[in-house]
Structure 1
Amino acid sequence: MDKDQLLRGRRSVLRLAACLGGAAVVGGLFATERTTAPGRTAPSPAPAPPGRGASPRTAARLPQASSYRLRPMTAYVPTGLRRAAPPVRSRPFLRVPAKDRTMVLTFDDGPDPRYTPAILATLREHGVQAMFFVCGEMATQHPDLLRKMADDGHVIGNHTWSHPLVPGLAPSRIRDELGSTSEVVEQAVGAAPLWYRAPYGAWNRHSFEIGAELGMEPLAWTLDTLDWTEPGTRTIIRRVLEGAAPGVVVLSHDAGGNRSQSVAALRRYLPELLDDGYRMTVPRR
């Protein structure tokens, strides 16, 4: 598939996500509305880009012959489960509470051995922790990178198994996507994710309920770098620096395509943010 076809496919998926989702609701982390009422909910502020598994072929495929698939996913319960506090949320968190100049850096779709190690190295150089929302089909191939994330103090989040459009899935499939990914992470680092993010920012009631059952809270983003469109390193840097503000959650990617621009941009904008007095943080619970 050439680049034009790929971009057309991405635009089609994003249009579908927008139809299924709607506009995001702005709110503060730990101040987001919760509800148990049925019905669809609004997605996060902008659709996240397709990662690996965005195609119908890949999205329909889950692992067939791995140890963590030998028991039904409906029976999976993370070790030491701390369920998300009831009632179940109806909207994802979009930002962190910030009385000072704190921000959160997040990276989706990985881990990818071509780009994730360089991102980890830059974060380590500056003593910064970030969040990595991993796809199970990538994580199961690179558990060593998950362990490096955990060793460096980063937060590993759940980004489903194959990066599907969640509102189009049956509840059993949503649980399979989230549960299988949580299990891979738990096997690699000894603890299941406490946070998850819906691909394309497209959430629904079932995803909130199942995420809570698996002990996870939903986190979206405030600032989308749109790095998946490969706009150029300078453009990514400009978007981050211009959008920087207390409590902002930055969305970038370490997989799902050529992420060399994302790697190069991080090397430039991270020290500038730190020099400007910003502190990078990660939510803990």
Structure 2
Amino acid sequence: MLDRIFVLLAATLLSLMSFTTLSSAHPAHYPLQTEFPDHMLYQGQIEGKMIALTFDDGPDQQYTPEILDILNEHKVKATFFLMGSRVVKHPDVTKRIVNEGHAIGNHTYWHPNLAEADIHQMEWEINHTNNQIYQATGKTTQWFRAPYGALNQQQVLSLGFLGYKGIGWSIDTEDWKGPGKKAITRQVINNVHPGAIILMHNAGHWTQDLSGTAESLDELIPLLKRNGYQFVTIPQMWQLNHHGQISSKQADERPLK
């Protein structure tokens, strides 16, 4: 009963928020996107009601398959930013992500804080991960998300030189803290806006409880759909930002290094 009341309250709040545009959603609040619009994306266009679900730190054998099942049930495509060290351990799950039509991105090999890394280490992390993704799926990716979102201007320029696009987020669910389904749902509902890139996790440290992530998706996706939001992948959101439409041919891959 309490769960039903919570869902109804969330739906009411979302309906009220759909008539406003959050000032915090403006790209000016993301200086790297403003300075490097051809290399960085933290949020999409605010004119339409397109949003992107993104998942970091996978794959794994516990939470990733569960999240994939829920996305499949609701017919939603998402973007998964993969760690090379976990792709090596779970190539079957990596391949499933691709086979089910989701987009993939690069999330480094060992998940270092790149604010403490030099350019050579960053390049190794990215290129080695891309090679592992290719071995598992036969595909590469040009989409990159830095662990902790830590990137400086020189690193952004290096990403561009390597042929990558840097992807941030505009809504952090903080699901890695294990707050539970209701808190995750509330965090998204309270902050959702057109063009939102939503950060979630589909794997983590073995002590982390990410069960609330999958459970929240089962409520969030129908709620957001009922309020006119459409789910897109990061490649699609990039196309909308730069070309105003989604092409059937997504230039998603890049050459191996």
Specify if TM > 0.5.
yes
> Which residues in structure 2 correspond to 1:79-90 (within 5 Å)?
89=39
Q: Distance in 2 between matches of 1:129 and 1:223?
A: 18
Q: Deviations over 1:185-242 (max 9, x none)?
A: 1222222111111111111234323322332100100000011111121000111122
Aligned to 2:201: 253
Alpha-carbon shift at residue 246 of structure 1 (Å): 0.6
Matched, 1:270 2:218: no
Deviation at 1:100, TM superposition (A): 2.0
| One-letter code aligned to 1:281 | V
Report percent identity of matched pairs. Answer: 35
CA 1:133–1:274 in 2, change beyond 3 Å: closer, same or farther? same
* Greater mean deviation of Cα atoms: 111-120 or 211-220: 211-220
Number of matched residues?
207
SS of the residue 1:109 aligns to? strand
Q: Please tell me the residue identity of whatever aligns with 1:271.
A: P
Residues in 1 aligned to 2:158 and 2:132: alpha-carbon distance in whole angstroms: 17
Question: Does 2:73 match 1:122?
Answer: no
Amino acid in the other structure paired with 1:279: Q
Q: TM-score, normalised by structure 1?
A: 0.68
Q: Give unpaired runs (5+ residues) of structure 2.
A: 1-26, 236-250, 252-257
Q: Alpha-carbon deviation of 1:155?
A: 1.0
- Corresponding residue for 2:29? 26
| Corresponding position of 2:246 | none
Conserved? CA contact 1:107–1:252, under 8 Å: yes
Q: Which has the higher helix share?
A: 2
Structure 1 CA distance, aligned partners of 2:172 and 2:67? Answer: 17
What's the CA shift string for 1:39-89, capped at 9, x where partnerless?
xxxxxxxxxxxxxxxxxxxxxxxxxxxxxxxxxxxxxxxxxxxxxx6xxx4
Unaligned runs of 5+ in 1: 1-23, 36-84
Q: 1:208 aligns with which of 131, 156, 168?
A: 156
* Correspondence for 1:281: 232
Instruction: Assess if the C-alpha contact under 8 Å between 2:28 and 2:34 holds in 1.
Output: no
CA-CA distance at 1:32 after TM superposition:
3.4
**Aligned counterparts of 1:28 and 1:154: Cα–Cα separation in 2:** 28
Contact 2:176 2:210 in 1 (8 A): yes
Distance 1:183 1:214 in 2: 14
Alpha-carbon distance in structure 1 between the residues aligned to 2:84 and 2:51 = 26
The RMSD of aligned alpha carbons is: 2.1
- The alignment's TM-score, normalised by the length of structure 2, stands at 0.75
Q: Is the 8 A contact 1:28 1:97 kept in 2?
A: no
Alpha-carbon spacing, 1:140–1:102, altered in 2? closer, same or farther (3 Å):
same
1:129·1:280 contact (CA, 8 Å) conserved in 2?
Answer: yes
